[in-house]
Structure 1
């Protein structure tokens, strides 16, 4: 007897129900605004997740690399900013391996902290003597600092496990909460000085050492929020490295690897349209050939959205995208090729000056934040650091351009001065709320992370988060966004 028609249909129906829903086609095109580390990293991560068939257009008005830039002195290249990378920067480590780059050879040099009148702390060649000096001046404050920073970093490192499992966060608050609970949120609302005093670090240590590190990294005071301060202090007390040939090679390498199209133009705005019932974004730009525009399924903005930094407009969005509060800290880098005036630092004989790096306390009369005797981005095996009585290349960080009298104070004479003025970091204000990551359905703001803390690895982490967030939202995989108790989830997935 032939089976009834229903019996023939049941296996086919069961197979149909068991089959997974058809995956949504990937975006046809994605625009990335900015070709610094954030732009190049997010382009790489987006291609990793969506696949090589997606068209990636990266807009950059200046040079690829952004703040990772070099200057030429006597036919040698030197880092102007973004000089060092922390050993725990796992994404940056991965980029270097993937691109076949190398770590630059380290050249030892001692540091000191200058008050404007004398050195309050001097590093020596002997590790135990350095520890003794810290203990003699500040008691166990340096140990309490180390424990505090290590606790923050241990929790921060969870982000790599979360990202390896494909989890993403739609806001900075959710990201911070997943790593360190409400304690991490609170660290964006109170100063690093307040947090350190609370764990038993002395006021003197804060005034001398913590202030010097923050002036060197952010050009700001100990009133910066605790989380940003912890990231800066982690870089100061941990081992660091740099890329041979210049850190900017990471950016150009990632863009070349992804075969992204780099468009030499300044993006002036984004307007919202719709196509087949979904959002479509029109990117407006100005280049050497005039104004133009192009349409994209997705846009990632990696440049700061602030009136002082960019004249950027959003059109047709409801509610409107307009409010980006806060301000940016002016920062000046002066790369000087000359002879150090060691007498200003209390060393009449320049041959006896032992320091390659000078940090400063927060003293009103001091006109510079830090200075260091820098090495070129390519270091041969025979390279040696210049002796203090020789002409060397110094990088001086300050909040205002140095005038001739100030240059004369720091240098007996000099051959050249190259000045770069930046608005590098947010002017950290604990009272401000954190900017959004998601501006619209498929419109993301990567640079918002800098209001939590600004470093190469924070930007790389944010790039991975935005790529995962974009991918999970595109495919409606809500189980991978803003999940609670992620440490437990990740352990059970192992």
Structure 2
């Protein structure tokens, strides 16, 4: 990374802290300010949406956030023994500027880093085990894979540098009406081509070897998305970025960002499940007809409904994840969009690892690998096996060796049987299982993604997941939807779906 790129990223991060609160003062006389906004979903997308909607529409608007479960959604923790551990989204990339901004704005801090080592397991034995010495690891990688590892980092960097243009667009208030238009503005036809081919096809076309894809790329895709190198090329690049150094997490748990954003946005949390959204017309005081959205929901007190000027759906509208119905819309809005979400089972086990399960003869007391990734082979019935640390690292904490009981996280496509647990662990005293429909099943060619705009003032934040699913992607989408809602409310079409950013900026300066 050169100094100009680093400086640009620093300026963009600063810009995120000051970028426009565009209230009625900056959009005079077009339409009165909205009075009520609903956000359906209290995960990172919904929480970030409430934060950015408050920025865009100011203090007067009432924002209600509907969430029937725990705030954080797919960011979640579970307590085992004296400590809490992450069961959902667990790492954040150093270039995730929205997440960095949230942590700074909310007064949170990054969790203390605990050094880790990685190994790759083919179902029978470890085909690669990281050393404590960087030069040894580098020589091993070059010996086995040539310069593929260096070229991979350059390939991922090329994708990320283009996609990071989104921060500059959003800093200056530009938004996009569809995922495809957003991707095209960032990376042109190349990005749209990338989501229409598999990661394997994209990387082999650029000269990467099959053995490198099998041994190195596939394990990363499996741990991050539970899928193989047949995911699309764009989400594959996002996955490979998760192998970079400098990954971090929020001290106390990543879900703290969600609760912090809801508090900061002064939104009202309504612990209820939304059952339907319908379009309604009501006469106004001036004799004209005003349109609203009726949100029907069920909470502890029973069924109820409320009217809103703007609604943002921040939960997946897919079978198994949502039962929201839509009525009174022309054309009709489907309750479920095509495609399915991929199941990943997160199993936390407090116990002693059976290191021979990994095909190693190394003594358990000497086995210090913390993250075991797996290849896409018949012998691998798990996606990964990791020794994990508490969400808050206490003073003097050291990760125990494998010879001692500690907490391991296993990602697998299906729940682990008692027989599988007995193969993997010599003993265990507690097990916690969480079944996540965590992210879409990415199977190119790229089908048409769900729209950001479901109706005039009804928006769908989770459409972005069909490009790639990550905390930062949800935060980007939240900012985009908040900007989109603002511009469409005040008729500022010149801020929507514009690709010639530099030309426009010169005209504004």
- Are 1:352 and 2:352 an aligned pair? no
Give me the whole-angstrom Cα distance separating, in 1, the residues matched to 2:393 and 2:327.
49
Secondary structure of the residue aligned to 1:355 is coil
Q: What are the superposed Cα offsets for residues 432-468 of structure 1, whole Å, 9 maximum, x if unpaired? A: 2211110000000000100000011011000000000
**Residue 144 of structure 1 contacts residue 199 of structure 1 at CA under 8 Å; is this kept in 2?**
no
1:311 matched to which residue of 2?
Answer: 323
TM-score by length of 2: 0.91
1:438 aligns with 2:445: no
Partner SS for 1:468: helix
CA RMSD of the aligned region, Å? 1.4
- 2:128 is paired with a residue whose SS is strand
Structure 1 segment 204-353 matched on structure 2, within 5 A:
204-275=211-282, 276-322=288-334, 324-345=337-358, 346-347=360-361, 349-353=363-367
Matches within 5 A, 1:1-400: 21-275=28-282, 276-322=288-334, 324-345=337-358, 346-347=360-361, 349-400=363-414
Q: Secondary structure at the match of 1:200?
A: coil
Q: Secondary structure at the match of 1:221?
A: coil
The equivalences for 1:392-471 within 5 A come to 392-431=406-445, 432-471=447-486
Give the conservation status (yes or no) of the 8 Å contact 2:124–2:379: no
SS of the aligned residue for 1:130 comes to: helix
Say which SS state the counterpart of residue 136 (structure 1) adopts: helix
Q: Contact 1:279/1:442 (CA < 8 Å) preserved in 2?
A: no
- For each residue in 1:254-309, what CA deviation from the matched residue of structure 2 results, as whole angstroms up to 9, or x when unmatched? 10111111111111110011234443100111112221111100000010001221
The secondary structure found in structure 2 opposite 1:116 is coil
Contact 2:30 2:491 in 1 (8 A): no
Secondary structure, counterpart of 2:190 in structure 1: helix
Number of matched residues? 476
Name the structure 2 match of 1:12: none
Residues 123, 378 of structure 2: 8 Å contact kept:
no
Over residues 230-264 of structure 1, what are the superposed CA-to-partner deviations in whole Å (9 max), with x where a residue is unaligned? Answer: 01111212421000011000000010111111111
Equivalent-residue separation in structure 2 for 1:305 and 1:490 (angstroms): 36
Following the alignment from structure 1 to structure 2, what is the Cα–Cα distance between the partners of residues 265 and 198?
49
CA distance in 1, matches of 2:503, 2:219: 39
Q: How far is the alpha carbon of 1:347 from its aligned partner?
A: 3.0
Q: How far is the alpha carbon of 1:23 from its aligned partner?
A: 4.5
Secondary structure of 2:242's counterpart equals helix
Structure 2: 5+ residue stretches without partners: 1-25, 283-287
* DSSP-derived class of the 2:474 partner: helix
- Answer yes or no: is the 8 Å Cα contact 1:178–1:486 preserved in 2: no
Q: Distance in 2 between matches of 1:287 and 1:159?
A: 38
Are the counterparts in 2 of residues 271 and 316 from structure 1 also a CA contact under 8 Å? yes
| 3-state SS in 1 of match to 2:411 | strand
Partners of 2:111 and 2:391 within 8 A in 1: yes
> Contact between 1:72 and 1:78, CA under 8 Å: does it hold in 2?
yes
Which consecutive aligned stretches of 4+ in structure 1 deviate over 6 angstroms post-superposition? none
Query: Structure 1 CA distance, aligned partners of 2:345 and 2:325?
Result: 28
Take 1:490 and 1:238, find their aligned partners in 2: how far apart are those partners? 34
User: Is 1:331–1:397's contact at 8 Å kept on the other side of the alignment?
Assistant: yes
Contact 1:142 1:201 in 2 (8 A): no
What SS does the aligned partner of 1:236 have?
Answer: coil
Contact kept in structure 1, 2:44 and 2:72, CA below 8 Å: yes
Q: Whose Rg is larger?
A: 1
Offset, 1:348: 5.3
Q: Deviations over 1:391-422 (max 9, x none)?
A: 01011000000001100111100010000011
For residues 27-73 of structure 1, the C-alpha deviation after alignment (integer angstroms, 9 at most, x for no partner) is: 10000000000000000000001001110100001000001100001
SS, match of residue 228 in structure 1? helix
Alpha carbons 1:49, 1:471 under 8 Å: kept: yes
| Higher mean C-alpha displacement, 369-378 vs 140-149 | 140-149
Q: Deviations over 1:469-488 (max 9, x none)?
A: 00011110111000132243
Cα 1:354–1:162 change in 2 (3 A) is same
Provide the C-alpha distance between the structure 1 equivalents of 2:271 and 2:248, rounded to a whole number of angstroms. Answer: 31
CA distance in structure 1 between the aligned counterparts of 2:133 and 2:82, rounded to whole angstroms = 35
Return the offset for 1:130: 1.3
Alpha-carbon shift at residue 126 of structure 1 (Å): 1.4
What is the aligned counterpart of 2:489 among 460, 471, 474? 474
